[in-house]
Structure 1
Amino acid sequence: MPNYVEKNSSKPGQTQPPAPEALLARLRSLVPTLSRGPAQVGRAVLADPQAIVPMTMRQLAAHTDTSDASVTRLAQAIGCTGYREFRALLAASTAVQTAAAGPAGTGRLPADIELDDAPAEVVAKLLAEEQQALADSAAALDIAALTASAEAICAARRVVITGIGASGIVARDLSAKLERIGIISQPITEGHHALTAAAVMEPVDLLIVISASGETADILEPLDAARAAGIPTVAITVRPRSRITAADHVLIAVAARESGMRPAAMSSRTGQLFIVDSLFALVYQRRAEQAGAAVTTSHQMLAPRRHRKDPS
């Protein structure tokens, strides 16, 4: 089975400009990975994208108390050649966003949870952030990469899915879904186990790695080992400028932003689970007959347990 490469990349890890509707989603994920100057510019753009559109590069630098170089670096980090291209893309993006309704249709960040927030306010802020994560992930999703990933799963003899910490929850979820429709799948949530599993995989297998940061050694090491052995790989990450993107594999980016009071990566996990559900739906489409039969069989096997009478 051949290796797959990221859509529209002339070389591994190269960033391409997003579609206008995906610009703010990508920017939200990108800002935490940038140095102080470009990050400051990025936050200003997200705070009021419509106000930024008419600004020249010098005006934006003054507005953000940064420099022309910081503005240029932000534009290039997004995938644009310079500020002129970035401003044109931002103008198109604001036109699209203006037509949308609700919190997912704005460029503003959801408010962070504060220590003195009332319970109802905490719930409302969490809801807004979860909705934003889903909307951003859908807007920024590379459909070609998602499709290539689904095809790779269908072609594989077995699928090994590895994730550490909160990403391990997502790995187990995807594995359970695939097993339910008859695909041999193994979730791995421990680094040493992931490395030894990668060492015995073969090119007819598929390795899927899930990492919010894209920098976790327990993910990068088995990924490198699999690639060196010619094993097809898929990476799902929140950080498009991390080390996990510097490889010739399918890359699926998740758009998410965590607030200071959310160390458990809840927002990124929401985006990851959305990607997993989308990926599973595409796999099911391609294996509809086998998948339907497997689901029917599992339902039949579990039916007696669901309707078992209470012995008391």
Structure 2
Amino acid sequence: MTETVKETSESAPVPPTTPPPPAALAAKVRTLVPTMTRSMQRVAEAVAADPAACAALTVTGLAERTGTSEATVVRTARVLGYPGYRDLRLALAGLAAQQQSGRAPAVTADIAVDDPLHEVVAKLAHDERQTLADTADALDIQQLAAAVAALASARRIDIYGIGASALVGQDLAQKLLRIGLIAHAHSDPHLAVTNAVQLRGGDAAVAITDSGATGDVIEPLRVAFEHGATTIAMTGRPDGPVTQYADHVLTTSKARESELRPAAMSSRTSQLLVVDCLFIGVAQRTYDTAGPALSASYEALAHRRSARAPGR
């Protein structure tokens, strides 16, 4: 029997009801610039580089400053999540004020081959803090709440990820297992698809892909979607191919790749924050069962450590 495919309207991400706050603007630019046209990139890069100066410009002035058109400026504002240029200007003014107060630090330089270790530690620590802040600012709480509700009520949860994202998927699965949910992480694309075929309405599937274009992750999510499961995409590209099969989209901070720090390293920080948000949200909604399950797992681990202690 052929499974009923969900209506497209159900799969579309729920748009935010309000524009992103000023603190989220720089994060949105870093996330979305790679997907923009070159003219839109010039607008986005200009407002991120000098928000104070751009906030003082009219739409015509910003178009002239970036060598683009007024229509391009307005389109860029909308892609960044603002209804129009006026809303973007307000966000720019807010971002400029935060930067002047020191609450929105500039991004440090990439790690160099000859950096001493203390500078490596400082740069990594700054980048990790910025990644976490960017992710928190850009995370759509409505989408997060919907994903939490789907996982909390799911009969079974499948999680798909490849490479570094597979490690994140394993972390989510083991957390959910500890509060009594049935969750499995799949890093083998063949097993992922064969398991996705078994999903039905009342089940949930989570795809984790920073690029949003990993075929081995998209395919099992597609199968899960077409078999009626509630699907969730965790990705750094909210307009990536994976989202066409996602009921709910959780946007992570887009990884900045450098010679000594592959994108997989920095993207994992962002993904793990979202995993923790999902886990805490689910544990709160299911606390009557999650609480005892967590206590039982703590006791079992404590007993195992005690039994393995020297002299026992």
Q: Structure 2-normalised TM-score?
A: 0.87
Q: CA deviation at 1:41?
A: 2.7
| Corresponding residue number in structure 1 for 2:108 | 110
| Corresponding residue number in structure 1 for 2:302 | 303
Q: What pairs up with 1:192-271 in 2 under 5 angstroms?
A: 192-247=190-245, 249-261=247-259, 262-271=261-270
| Corresponding residue number in structure 2 for 1:282 | 281
- Read off the aligned partner of 2:182 and give its amino acid letter: I
Q: Aligned to 1:91, which of 93, 98, 121?
A: 93
- Read off the aligned partner of 2:284 and give its amino acid letter: Q
Q: CA deviation at 1:21?
A: 3.5
Decide which moves more: 152-161 or 296-305: 296-305
Distance (whole Å) between structure 2 residues aligned to residue 118 and residue 57 of structure 1: 45
| Corresponding residue number in structure 2 for 1:7 | 14
Q: CA deviation at 1:185?
A: 0.5
Q: What pairs up with 1:18-33 in 2 under 5 angstroms?
A: 18-33=20-35
| Corresponding residue number in structure 2 for 1:13 | none
Distance (whole Å) between structure 1 residues aligned to residue 247 and residue 290 of structure 2: 26
- Read off the aligned partner of 2:304 and give its amino acid letter: R
- Read off the aligned partner of 2:292 and give its amino acid letter: A
Please give the secondary structure, in 2, of the residue aligned with 1:117. Answer: coil
Distance (whole Å) between structure 1 residues aligned to residue 286 and residue 100 of structure 2: 37
| Corresponding residue number in structure 1 for 2:144 | 146
- Read off the aligned partner of 1:271 and give its amino acid letter: S
Change over 3 Å in CA distance of 1:298–1:82 after alignment to 2 = closer
Could you tell me whether the CA contact under 8 Å between 2:165 and 2:209 is conserved in 1? yes
Distance (whole Å) between structure 1 residues aligned to residue 29 and residue 193 of structure 2: 33
Could you tell me whether the CA contact under 8 Å between 1:205 and 1:231 is conserved in 2? yes
Distance (whole Å) between structure 1 residues aligned to residue 239 and residue 107 of structure 2: 21
Q: CA deviation at 1:114?
A: 2.2
Alignment pair present for 1:67 and 2:68: yes
Change over 3 Å in CA distance of 1:268–1:76 after alignment to 2 = same
Change over 3 Å in CA distance of 1:35–1:233 after alignment to 2 = same
- Read off the aligned partner of 2:146 and give its amino acid letter: A
Q: What pairs up with 1:122-137 in 2 under 5 angstroms?
A: 122-137=120-135
Change over 3 Å in CA distance of 1:309–1:91 after alignment to 2 = closer
Distance (whole Å) between structure 1 residues aligned to residue 160 and residue 118 of structure 2: 36
Please give the secondary structure, in 2, of the residue aligned with 1:220. Answer: helix
Please give the secondary structure, in 2, of the residue aligned with 1:176. Answer: helix
Decide which moves more: 42-51 or 208-217: 42-51
Distance (whole Å) between structure 2 residues aligned to residue 147 and residue 4 of structure 1: 16
Q: Kindly tell me the number of residue pairs found equivalent between the two proteins.
A: 301
List alignment gaps of at least 5 residues for structure 2: 1-5
| Corresponding residue number in structure 2 for 1:38 | 40
List alignment gaps of at least 5 residues for structure 1: 11-15
Could you tell me whether the CA contact under 8 Å between 1:156 and 1:206 is conserved in 2? yes
Deviations 1:82-103 (A, max 9, x none): 54443233234434x348645x
Deviations 1:59-84 (A, max 9, x none): 434544x3225534422321345544
Cα RMSD after superposing both structures: 2.5
Decide which moves more: 277-286 or 37-46: 37-46
Please give the secondary structure, in 1, of the residue aligned with 2:170. Answer: helix
Could you tell me whether the CA contact under 8 Å between 2:29 and 2:44 is conserved in 1? yes
Deviations 1:257-298 (A, max 9, x none): 313232242222111100110111111111212112112212
Q: CA deviation at 1:58?
A: 4.4
Distance (whole Å) between structure 2 residues aligned to residue 9 and residue 56 of structure 1: 25
Q: CA deviation at 1:131?
A: 0.5
Please give the secondary structure, in 2, of the residue aligned with 1:246. Answer: helix
Change over 3 Å in CA distance of 1:49–1:259 after alignment to 2 = farther
Distance (whole Å) between structure 1 residues aligned to residue 89 and residue 45 of structure 2: 15
Distance (whole Å) between structure 2 residues aligned to residue 45 and residue 173 of structure 1: 37
Distance (whole Å) between structure 1 residues aligned to residue 81 and residue 137 of structure 2: 16
Decide which moves more: 118-127 or 37-46: 37-46
Change over 3 Å in CA distance of 1:311–1:21 after alignment to 2 = same
| Corresponding residue number in structure 2 for 1:155 | 153
| Corresponding residue number in structure 1 for 2:3 | none
